[in-house]
A = this chain, B = another copy of it.
Amino acid sequence: MKISCLQENLAKGLSVVSRLVSSRGTLEILSHILLSTENGRLKLSATNLEIGVNYKVGGKVEEEGSVTVPARLFNELITQLPEGKINLETDKNNLLVKSGNYESKINGLSSDDFPLIPKNKNKKSFTISSSEFKDAINIVSFSSALDEARPVLAGVLFSIKKDKLTLAATDSYRLAEKVINISGGEKDTEAIVPTRSLLELSRVIGDSDREISVFIDENQIMFENDDFEFTSRLVEGKFPDYKQIIPIESETKAKVSVSNFLKIIKVAALFSGETAGSINLKVSSKGKINAESSSSQYGDSSASCEAVVEGKDIEIVFNSKYIIDVLNNLSGKDIEISFTDKLNPGVLKVSGDKSYVYVIMPLRA
């Protein structure tokens, strides 16, 4: 392999793929990045066996070929080199890196030993806008379970129906659902994608605004645009039938700005120490939401903000963490929260946006 490319492009590509590489694994080759030439470009590949990513960097290919090099070392070296042209050339399993007065030889491994990142391009499913998709990942994925005790809850459900993709995640205490438009959805299908994979994908997408093509088969999902291919395994199992727990009717509705609401919840959360984040919300038809908490250790607190309230007064107890999580992802917006009674879930929507819904189970007072 013999190729030249710009330091700034290579450094950007490495910052994306080298995140996937674990330096603690037992297999040395998994701490490496695969460099290869493809259609006149340099392809950087990394995998942790659950996720695989190919990222393409523009360059001038003089000789086709491939090699693997330690990800951390190669990334740090390229970061240090001055801007401008870098020459990369293989010498058996080693990589020569030259740029101006800098000349390094990195000990690599044969590309034959690098795990294959599967491509399942037979079933073209649909295309989506990368920015809408990234937003959807961000406002849904935090509702997933963090532990893997029930693997389906550590994933996000993808439901494709006609021209809509619905993303849903729940840890059984709260639930987030977001619907976005897709093009070319040929047949309805469902898949559960590990949340960890989606968070990595969100970073790989970065600020790219190219459309993304999505391919789903039995065991894998692939996201692709002109810059990258990102493959993840799917989670086996059945996602809970969550639709039934979303309340349809409500007795109380409150419209409030995210920034005001977040501040009073955060202050109340500070005083909810030994009650595991539990705070008391009072929604008053006089146009006010009050957040209270009390702790024998720390003291107590009460704070209120203005709200446009319709319906009955209500007092209900929530885990403040679940409210803070969603508000942190909706900054600058107005929201509507609706309640039936203190035993049933609260429902949070963004004002003027029917595509997103967030449901929180109340705690017993």
In angstroms, Cα B107 to Cα A298, docked, is 5
Query: Are B81 and A267 neighbours in the complex by a CB distance under 8 Å?
Result: yes
A98 to chain B, nearest CB (A): 10
Within the complex, what minimum Cβ distance (angstroms) separates A168 from chain B? 32
Tallying the copies of this chain within the complex gives 2
The A303-330 residues at the B interface (CB cut-off 8 A) are 303-305
- Is A299 in contact with chain B by the CB < 8 A criterion? yes
How near does chain B come to A181, taking the closest CB pair, in angstroms? 38
Cβ of B304 and Cβ of A101 under 8 Å apart?
A: yes
User: Once the chains bind, are A102 and B299 in contact (CB under 8 Å)?
Assistant: no
Q: Does A82 have its Cβ within 8 Å of any Cβ on chain B?
A: yes
Q: A302 near B: Cβ within 8 Å?
A: yes
In the assembled complex, which residues on chain B have CB atoms less than 8 Å from the CB atom of A298?
Answer: 70, 73, 106-107
Q: Which residues of B contact A77 (CB under 8 A)?
A: 267, 270, 301
**Shortest beta-carbon distance from A186 to chain B in Å:** 49
The answer to whether A104 and B304 touch across the interface, beta carbons within 8 angstroms, is no
Question: Given the complex, which residues of B lie within 8 Å of A70, measured CB to CB?
Answer: 298
Question: Is there a chain B Cβ closer than 8 Å to A271's Cβ?
Answer: yes
Residues of chain B within 8 A (CB-CB) of A80 are 263, 266-267, 270
**In the complex, which residues of chain B have a beta carbon less than 8 angstroms from the beta carbon of A105?**
299-301
Q: Is the CB of B103 within 8 A of A303?
A: yes
Q: How many angstroms between the C-alpha atoms of A267 and B77 in the bound complex? A: 6
Q: Give chain B nearest CB distance to A102 CB in angstroms.
A: 4
Please give, as numbers and ranges, the residues of chain B lying within 8 Å of A344 by CB-CB distance: none
Enumerate chain A interface residues (CB-CB to B < 8 A).
70, 73, 76-77, 80-82, 94, 101-107, 263-264, 266-267, 270-271, 297-305
**Interface pairs (20), CB distance under 8 Å:** A70-B298, A73-B270, A76-B270, A77-B267, A80-B263, A80-B267, A80-B270, A81-B267, A82-B263, A94-B299, A101-B304, A102-B267, A102-B303, A103-B301, A104-B267, A104-B300, A105-B299, A105-B300, A105-B301, A107-B299
